[in-house]
Amino acid sequence: MTEEVKIRSKELKYRGKSVEELQALDVREVAKYLPARSRRSILRHFDVVEKFTKRCEMKEMKNKKIRTHLRDIVIVPKLVGKTIEIYDGKNYQIVQITVEMIGHRLGEFAQTRKRVAHSSAGVGATKGSRAAKK
């Protein structure tokens, strides 16, 4: 393989467009390349998405953490490469935004429920333990 082919294979694209091309577009123009549900959400609430991306850029310039409770924001190309802390109901989970996440929502990457690790059954949970209770 030549070096030129290696560079091309590493270049990440989303629906035929490079990330740099998509980042240059407006939020409403990017919506054309997204799946239907994400496109409809962005076109209805583009002002919220634009405010969020601008806030992320401002905080990044000031070297501050980007923390948010907005789990329903659709990930757009301008957020690629940023590290965002998303609230899961108890803590903030750190998420690095990548190209594969475009079109998904922030909440998909910060799970709200943890795995249940049960121990043995409690008193009264089985017929045998009910008898021991009396």
- Residue 104 sits in a domain whose CATH number is 3.30.860.10
Query: Mind listing the pLDDT tens digit for each residue in 89-109?
Result: 999 999 999 999 999 999 999
- Determine the structural domain holding residue 28 and report its residue range: 8-111
Could you tell me if residue 106 is inside a domain?
Answer: yes
DSSP H helical ranges for 11-126:
19-24, 27-30, 36-44, 46-61
Could you tell me if residue 116 is inside a domain?
Answer: no
What total number of domains does the chain contain? 1
Average pLDDT over residues 79-84: 93
Residue 134 pLDDT grade (very low, low, confident, very high; cuts 50, 70, 90): low
Query: Mind listing the pLDDT tens digit for each residue in 32-69?
Result: 999 999 999 999 999 999 999 999 999 999 999 999 99
User: By three-state DSSP, how is residue 14 classified?
Assistant: strand
Could you tell me if residue 128 is inside a domain?
Answer: no
Could you tell me if residue 117 is inside a domain?
Answer: no
Output the pLDDT for position 133.
Answer: 52
Decide if 13 contacts 80 (C-beta within 8 A): no
Decide if 21 contacts 12 (C-beta within 8 A): no
